[in-house]
Amino acid sequence: MGVPGGGELIIILVIILLLFGAKKLPELAGSMGKSIKEFKKATDESDEDVAKAETKPDAES
């Protein structure tokens, strides 16, 4: 397996077009973009929280 080639990507895009229709594609792409943006924001916040927790001195030492 591996990364799909150009022909495979075209077939996948045609199937998506048939399933959702041309009118729904911009709406679908927009919602996917927003979801990805929110996911990245959440992971960045999580990374910041971990970094803050690692830099706090222990109370026992």
pLDDT digits (tens, 9 = 90+) for 12-28: 988 988 988 888 888 98
Task: Round to whole Å and give the CA distance between 18 and 37.
Answer: 26
What are the boundaries of each domain within the chain? 22-54
Rg, Å, the chain Cα set: 21
Looking at residue 28, what is its pLDDT? Answer: 87
Check residue 58 and give its pLDDT: 61
What CA–CA distance (Å, rounded) separates 23 from 20?
A: 8
61, two tokens: 């030492």
The pLDDT tens digits along the chain (61 residues) read 678 799 998 999 889 889 888 888 889 889 999 999 999 999 988 888 888 877 776 655 5
